Amino acid sequence: MNIHADYSERVVIHFDDLPWVPSPEWGVERKMLERQGGEVAKATSIVRYQPGARFESHQHAFGEEILVLSGTFSDETGDHAAGTYIMNPPGSSHAPFSESGCTLFVKLRHLGADQVKREVVETTSAAWYQGMVPGLTVMPLMRQGSGSTLVKWAPQTFFNSHRHYGGEEIFVVEGVFEDEHGRYPAGSWIRSPHLSLHQPFSREGCTIFVKTGHLLG
């Protein structure tokens, strides 16, 4: 199965526009943003656990990133509330479940040998740092290799036009993100190819998950 598998193409999707697709496990569904492969796939998805849903223990050969959007996600390491970021490195395994239900942003099978240690960030309490322009603050998430970052835009924040070597991926967690190409409310996913150019801003304010440099092939 190939869904938006061509990294040379710009893609903009709002996850509300996609259908829920059942997984092999009861009560777990996905909205597929991009995918290369079948049930074992390199993929980016919105994943929903119904209350009481669970997966059997399984290994992630090429790692996994999770951002808990709502509810509480759990595995043998503990309970992870909305706002928690988790990076499970290549070769790690777990048995995830949710007693009360949850919704996740998930990236599978895209990490490499430089990601070796599990990372967990409680974004509701972790520190924000000043960004490159006034009104912009950043929170590093994955610190090994090509990192992922949360970026918070205060209302009426504008950034300079710039290119992204290796491309850029954005998921709008809350608020409204914009650039000269369009307006992207919470739930939007934007993937821009290698050397793409834009001039981003937010009139209303927003928080976005950003990953750069990982779309060369």
93, 160: one domain: no
From 92, 122, 152, give the residue that closes a domain: 122
83, 156: one domain: no
Q: Could you give the number of structural domains in the chain?
A: 2
116, 135: one domain: no
Q: Dump pLDDT digits (tens) for 6-59.
A: 999 999 999 999 999 999 899 999 999 999 887 777 899 999 999 999 998 888
25, 111: one domain: yes
Containing domain of residue 34, as a range?
Answer: 2-9+19-122
Q: Cβ contacts of residue 24 below 8 Å, gap of 6+?
A: 39
The confidence score (pLDDT) of residue 72 equals: 98
Residues in the chain: 217
Q: Which residue has the higher pLDDT, 130 or 215?
A: 130
- Distance CA(202)–CA(211), nearest Å, equals 18
pTM of this structure? 0.95
The verdict on residue 78 lying in a domain is yes
Q: Cβ contacts of residue 72 below 8 Å, gap of 6+?
A: 79, 80, 81, 82, 98, 99, 100, 102
Q: Dump pLDDT digits (tens) for 72-90.
A: 999 999 999 999 999 999 8
Rounded to the nearest 10°, the torsion over CA 46, 169, 211, 200 is -120
- Distance CA(31)–CA(16), nearest Å, equals 9
25, 53: one domain: yes
113, 189: one domain: no
101, 196: one domain: no
The least confident of 9-23, 107-121, 165-179, 182-196 is 107-121
62, 39: one domain: yes
The verdict on residue 73 lying in a domain is yes
138, 100: one domain: no
Q: Dump pLDDT digits (tens) for 104-162.
A: 999 998 887 788 889 999 999 999 999 999 999 999 998 887 679 999 999 999 999 99
The confidence score (pLDDT) of residue 116 equals: 84
The confidence score (pLDDT) of residue 217 equals: 64
Q: What is the CATH number of the domain that holds 195?
A: 2.60.120.10
